[in-house]
Chain A
């Protein structure tokens, strides 16, 4: 049998994972739905109601926070010796183990979260609209009543920034993958440690771009992104711009958009391979 990946073994691993975690997952779903209900209830009582400006941030803030916390717990078994021994001793390959965890932690979590959002939001939005309509009738306002609509979390709108939600989803998967990697790297407090490391890396990148690269380049500044450098002459802007080739910009953009999540998943796999307990 293939020692790297076997569908049969992966299926067994998924069954095992589900049998051991289904109670935890069910409770997690109930907890997320309850938090969302409470939050919406709070917003109906004290806020303007559940318009798209409430729904979308609720969805994304929840996705980022809960998804990253869950990601940082995905390999939590490795933090504890007894659980770690049990996990690493299961006769399945490292690839199968990583794919099983990613299936539940990335795909199933995302689908479940999306489903919770679209199950909880419509009835709460209906309540919100009903409350607003009652108020509107009581006030006898002279303006027409406009019902709030359900947000499409995959489409921000049209025109400038229309791909904002798409970009936020990509950013979510990239950031969550960093937390998943952190859960293999750090035995304890992986969430906090990952946050610290990510901030330090971000700071380093910022310093590198702002100080080191700027020092190497001739007098000038970044212009319309990080791949264009506008030359200056004694503090006066010139019309000369140093541009990196278009493919470099495309490559960097693609890496930032689509590269980080798979890259961190691959590093997670190699890190798991070299894990000792």
Chain B
């Protein structure tokens, strides 16, 4: 569905990607993680055709995104971190924008608006940042595009809204869609994403399904000194030592995305060795 091959990209003389390759398939919610400035947003903008690769190529649903053909744009919706919505009422937004997306569902949009508790009687400019963002997310989901790209979607959302976001997103995926969520707020998406891709310095640092991660790694709290010593990663907490260790006995454990992220950033080779073995 999305194929990124040997992507090279630079802002003037500052290189961001030097040979990044990535394949994304439908039916998954991908979590694109990484530190600030590692190129997460740049990658999404390359995929959506807003930036063009300097070398290498990107193919989305058989289209070259850089051509920005209507057939491509109808199938790709981007929720940017900083976004613009026109100063119109919601019904006008639907009247004039929704028709551009052949699979747009007004019923779905209204359902998301209700779930997000967005007021419908004000213009978009009168809404708060969080409300506007929820309108854009609702619109993006109701567009039913095959590719939905979300850049830091939970930024600016309050606690209730983040919970609503997770609920809405959980019901939004189907076999024909590919959703890519870029974030550094990993806790917000813990139970949502089913494949984690970590980018650092323009390279893929880690790329695994959550199923594979919990099959090979175990996340738990331990009070034993030996466990900490033998762990792939550990950090002390008020409850004891949180550790990541090899899942030798295929036990079920709850994926701690934040800890996994820190483990990969600090001890990448050790973690990757587990998945390559």
State the A residues within 8 Å of B (CB): 1, 3, 6, 9, 12, 15-16, 19-20, 23, 80-86, 88-94, 96, 273-274, 276-277
- Contact, CB under 8 Å: A93 / B69: yes
Residues in chain B near residue A274, CB distance under 8 A: 52
Q: Which of the four size classes fits the interface of chain B?
A: 20 to 34
* Interface assignment of B219: CB less than 8 Å from any CB of chain A: no
Residues in chain A near residue B69, CB distance under 8 A: 3, 93
A83 to B86, CA, bound (A): 9
- Contact, CB under 8 Å: A91 / B51: no
- Contact, CB under 8 Å: A20 / B50: no
A1 to B71, CA, bound (A): 8
* Interface assignment of B175: CB less than 8 Å from any CB of chain A: no
Residues in chain B near residue A96, CB distance under 8 A: 70
- Report B46-73 residues with CB < 8 Å from chain A CB: 48-52, 68-71, 73
Taking the nearest CB of chain B, how far is it from the CB of A96, in angstroms?
Answer: 8
- Contact, CB under 8 Å: A19 / B95: yes
CB closest residue in chain A, given B89: A19
Residues in chain A near residue B97, CB distance under 8 A: 16, 90
Residues in chain B near residue A92, CB distance under 8 A: 70, 73, 100
A277 to B73, CA, bound (A): 15
* Interface assignment of B82: CB less than 8 Å from any CB of chain A: yes
Taking the nearest CB of chain B, how far is it from the CB of A99, in angstroms?
Answer: 14
Residues in chain B near residue A83, CB distance under 8 A: 84
- Contact, CB under 8 Å: A3 / B70: yes
A15 to B80, CA, bound (A): 24
- Contact, CB under 8 Å: A277 / B50: yes
Question: CB within 8 A of A3: which of B45, B48, B71, B100?
Answer: B71
- Contact, CB under 8 Å: A19 / B88: yes
Residues in chain A near residue B45, CB distance under 8 A: 85, 277
- Contact, CB under 8 Å: A91 / B74: yes
A232 to B99, CA, bound (A): 70
Question: CB within 8 A of B96: which of A3, A6, A9, A19?
Answer: A19
Main secondary structure of the interface of B (DSSP, over half): loop
Residues in chain A near residue B120, CB distance under 8 A: none
Question: CB within 8 A of B83: which of A19, A85, A273?
Answer: A85
- Contact, CB under 8 Å: A91 / B70: yes
A81 to B82, CA, bound (A): 8
- Contact, CB under 8 Å: B100 / A85: no
Q: 10 closest Cβ contacts across the A-B interface?
A: A91-B73, A82-B84, A20-B86, A16-B96, A91-B74, A91-B100, A86-B84, A83-B84, A3-B69, A19-B96
- Contact, CB under 8 Å: B96 / A88: no
- Contact, CB under 8 Å: A90 / B100: yes
- Contact, CB under 8 Å: B74 / A86: no
Residues in chain A near residue B88, CB distance under 8 A: 19-20
State the B residues within 8 Å of A (CB): 45, 48-52, 68-71, 73-74, 76-78, 80, 82-88, 92, 95-97, 99-101
A89 to B65, CA, bound (A): 11
A81 to B80, CA, bound (A): 10
CB closest residue in chain A, given B49: A88
Residues in chain B near residue A20, CB distance under 8 A: 86-88, 96
Question: CB within 8 A of B52: which of A1, A89, A276?
Answer: A276
Residues in chain B near residue A88, CB distance under 8 A: 49-50, 68
Residues in chain B near residue A276, CB distance under 8 A: 50-52
A3 to B67, CA, bound (A): 10
Residues in chain A near residue B68, CB distance under 8 A: 88, 94, 273
- Contact, CB under 8 Å: B100 / A12: yes
Taking the nearest CB of chain A, how far is it from the CB of B117, in angstroms?
Answer: 24
Q: Which of B49, B74, B88, B96 has the most CB of A within 10 A?
A: B96
Residues in chain B near residue A23, CB distance under 8 A: 87
- Contact, CB under 8 Å: B84 / A89: no
Residues in chain A near residue B96, CB distance under 8 A: 12, 15-16, 19-20
Residues in chain A near residue B92, CB distance under 8 A: 19
A–B complex contacts, Cβ < 8 Å, 26 sampled:
A3-B69, A6-B70, A9-B70, A16-B96, A16-B97, A19-B96, A20-B87, A20-B96, A80-B84, A82-B80, A82-B82, A82-B83, A85-B83, A86-B83, A86-B85, A88-B68, A89-B48, A89-B76, A89-B77, A91-B101, A92-B73, A96-B70, A273-B68, A276-B50, A276-B51, A277-B45
Known interface pairs A19-B88, A81-B82, A94-B68; A89-B95 also in contact (CB < 8 Å): no
A19 to B51, CA, bound (A): 28
Residues in chain A near residue B74, CB distance under 8 A: 91
Taking the nearest CB of chain A, how far is it from the CB of B235, in angstroms?
Answer: 37
Residues in chain B near residue A81, CB distance under 8 A: 82
A92 to B51, CA, bound (A): 17
CB closest residue in chain B, given A273: B68
A9 to B97, CA, bound (A): 11
Residues in chain A near residue B73, CB distance under 8 A: 89-92
